[in-house]
Amino acid sequence: MNRYIYMDNSATTQVKQEVLDEMLPYFNINYGNPSSIYTLGSKSKNAIEIARERVAKAIGANTNEIFFTAGGSESDNWALKGIAYANRKKGNHIITSKIEHHAILHTCQYLEKEGFKVTYLDVDKYGTVDLEQLKNSITDDTILISIMFANNEIGTIQPIKEIGRIAKEKGIYFHTDAVQAIGHVKIDVDDLNIDLLSMSAHKFYGPKGVGALYIRKGVKIDSLIAGGAQERNRRAGTENVPGIVGMGKAIELAYENLEESNAKLIKLRDRMISKIFDRIDYVRLNGHPTNRLPGNVNVCFEFIEGESLLLSLDMEGIAASSGSACTSGSLEPSHVLLAIGLPHEIAHGSLRLSLGDFNTEEEVDYVVDKLVEIVSRLRAMSPLYEKIKEVK
């Protein structure tokens, strides 16, 4: 094996060289604490404010509405817990969906133990939330609607503008986990009526361990992390200056190259899907056929275990994912695939190939060739598949 093909860009991405170049001086040259008043400190402080401007610009927010965090999970926790506790007197009901990331779902479960009520909306077979069910779920006690922008497993993009409109009409806060959408979808928080938005740098070619929460001016929210006065008193802890600098550069690059990158990814994605369907039988596409993330391919191969598929791909030097990164290694099939109505045995044979800016057409073709070989080898060991072939 002399090549390595990375097709797991929804799990994390490679830090781009331009991003790394901007980060490096903040480790060992401009290493001052941003809270210190001497020049070395203010260099760090200024760098954070430049990054804040870049992040704000990318989503049409004001700079004082961007708060840096340690990533997508923290932003999700903060949005949910912060809104729940600060608005408890107003109501105790939260609406989310069944296909959210675990950072949302597990936080909701925690809040249920704390006495909050949570409605988990169903999705249709493409993974789209039902707007009628959303409207019908709203009560006088509803304080927050949290629906992800785009799903990390099947790539489906939600009707965010409609959800924002419904929330606004009812005077309910609207949070969206946009971790997968940032860098692929044009987002304007005013146009979409978004009150809170989570993002994470390592999903768009920035560093791991840094993210941000957009909080619309005037939104009532408690802090998650207490301590010093950083982030205008709302998120304590000495800032991850190199990480924040990297995030600013990465988001700027992502939106500068948005159209070009999306066009390339869609072409690769659709090439891959059509080749898989041409060459392999008993396969189904998960997620919305068109309204999906540009780099997302998620398919189920019947009569095959996702885990064996991943291991065989890994032996060929191909990195992909089955279910979600957090569930692989466990035998429970993905909650997202179950929510779109797949039976357990089919949900087990899922494969997510998430393409990124560094993938090529040649790699797509190579991976499809390998998939054809691996799927046919694994199916040769499946008595059920052999039986079905005989009947045909």
Indicate whether 69 belongs to the interface with ligand PLP (CB under 6 A).
no
Q: How far, CA to CA in Å, does 312 sit from each of 8, 135, 350, 362?
A: 15, 45, 14, 20
Site for ligand PLP in 188-227 (CB under 6 A): 200, 202-203, 211
248 is written with which tokens?
A: 């600013």
Active-site annotation holds for 326: yes
Nearer to ligand PLP, 95 or 210 (CB): 210
Residue with smallest beta-carbon separation from ligand PLP: 72
Q: Does 183 bind ligand PLP (CB under 6 A)?
A: no
**177 lies in the site for ligand PLP, by CB under 6 A:** yes
Q: What is the CB neighbour count within 10 angstroms for residue 168?
A: 15
Catalytic-role residue among 326, 338, 372, 388: 326
Q: Which stretch binds ligand PLP (CB under 6 A): 108-116, 172-180, 311-319, 335-343?
A: 172-180
Pull the structure tokens for residue 381.
């060991």
What are 56-63's contacts with CB under 8 Å, separation 24+?
A: 57/252, 57/255, 58/182, 58/187, 58/251, 58/252, 58/254, 58/255, 59/182, 59/187, 59/188, 59/189, 59/197, 59/214, 60/187, 60/188, 60/189, 60/190, 60/191, 61/189, 61/214, 61/216, 62/217
Is 179 among the residues that bind ligand PLP (CB under 6 A)? yes
182 close to 203: Cβ distance less than 8 angstroms: yes
* Contacts of ligand PLP in 80-99 (CB under 6 A): none
User: Residue from 13, 44, 73, 87 that binds ligand PLP (CB under 6 A)?
Assistant: 73
Residues with Cβ within 8 Å of residue 16, at least 6 apart in sequence: 205, 250, 253, 357
CA 63 – CA 194 distance, rounded (Å):
16
Q: How far is the CB of 156 from ligand PLP (least distance, A)?
A: 12
Verify binding: residue 101, ligand PLP, rule CB under 6 A: yes
Half-sphere exposure of 337 (CA within 13 A, CB side): 26
Site for ligand PLP in 255-294 (CB under 6 A): none
In the complex with ligand PLP, which residue's Cβ is closer, 73 or 262?
Answer: 73
Name which of 165, 166, 153 is nearest 126 in CA terms. Answer: 153
How near is the Cβ of 293 to ligand PLP at its closest, in Å?
Answer: 10
The piece of 68-76, 293-301, 328-336, 378-386 that touches ligand PLP (CB under 6 A) is 68-76
- Nearer to ligand PLP by C-beta: 129 or 276? 129
20-28, 72-80, 91-99, 376-384 -> range binding ligand PLP (CB under 6 A): 72-80
CB atoms within 10 A of CB 114: 12
181 binds ligand PLP (CB under 6 A): no
Verify binding: residue 65, ligand PLP, rule CB under 6 A.
no
Q: Would you please indicate which residues are annotated as catalytic (active-site) residues?
A: 326
Interface residues with ligand PLP (CB under 6 A) are: 71-73, 76, 101, 103, 148, 152, 177, 179-180, 200, 202-203, 211
